[in-house]
Amino acid sequence: MLLKGKVAVITGAARGLGRECAGRFAREGADLLLLDIGHDIEGVGYPLGSRDQLADTARMCEEQGGSVITAAVDVRDAARVGEAVDEALDRFGAIDVLINNAGIAAPSGRPVHEISEADWLLMLDTNLNGTWRMIKAVAPSMVGARSGSIINVSSTAGIVGYRNFAAYVTAKHGLVGLTKAAALDYAPFRIRVNAICPGSVRDNPLVEGRMLSEIARALDVPVDGHEEVFLRDQPTNALVETSSVAGAAIWLAGDDSRQVTGTTVTVDGGFTSR
C-alpha cells in the first residue's frame, strides 16, 4: 500500500495507460479522481475514451477498495477542469498526485507544410495546453499543503523526432520543458514535477488500449501487423507494457522518489539509447 492515504487525479483514465495507472494506484491504496473526455472530437479520426469506459475503470478501482470520483472533462476547457478539481477537494480535502495522461495521437501523418492550422492547434491545445490547465487548477492546493507530485506523460517523441508527426513531437517536447520549468517553480513548496516518456506501448486489450494502432494507422502501417513493425526498432525485442509505465508512475508518486524532480523517466526498452 505505497499510496495509502493519498489522493490522485488521473486524466485520460477511461482506457489504456490511464486505466492501467488507475488500477495500480487503487491497489496501492490511493483515492482517485478519474477524468476523461467522454466523447469524440472533430478532427481526431478515431473514437476517444467514452463515459462507459470511464465507468468501467471506476468500478475496477472501487473493487480494489478505493474511493473514486469520475468526471467527463475535456482538458481544453479550463472551467470544466476547475470544477472537477474543486469536486475532488470538496470530497477528499487534498490532492497529492496529478497524472497528466490525457492526449491524442491524431491528426498526424503529414509533413510540416501540409498540417492545417486547425490540426496544429488541436494537437497542442490537447496534449500540451491541457496539461498546463490541469497543473494550474491543482497546484494551488498543493502549494497550500507544501506537498505534491505532478507526473506528466510525455513520450519518446518528447526526446527525439518522428517523421510526419511534427505537432505531436512539438507537444511532447513541450511537456518535457514544462516539467523542468514547473519543477523549479514548485521546488520551494516541496512539490515534485517529473515526466514519463514511454516508448512503443503495446495495445493491451485488458485496458482497451489503442494508441499504438492509431499511430500505425497515421503512418500507413498495416494495423494487423503493426506490432511487428514497431518491434524492429526495439533493442529488447519487446514492446513496452502498460504495467511498466504505471510502475514508474507509482514510484514517482510515492515517497521513495521524494528527492526526484525536474527529470524524465524513459520507459522505452532502450529505444532512445541508439
CA distance 220 to 255: 43
Name all contacts of 229-236 with Cβ < 8 Å and 24+ positions apart: 230/200, 233/200, 233/271, 233/274, 234/199, 234/200, 234/269, 234/270, 234/271, 235/269, 235/270, 235/271, 235/273, 235/274, 236/269, 236/270
Q: Which residues contact 3 (CB under 8 A, 6 or more apart)?
A: 25, 28, 29, 30, 97, 250, 253, 254
Active site residue 168: yes
Active-site pick, 46, 162, 168, 186: 168
Grid cell listed for 102: 490525457
CA distance 30 to 97: 9
* Residues noted as catalytic: 168
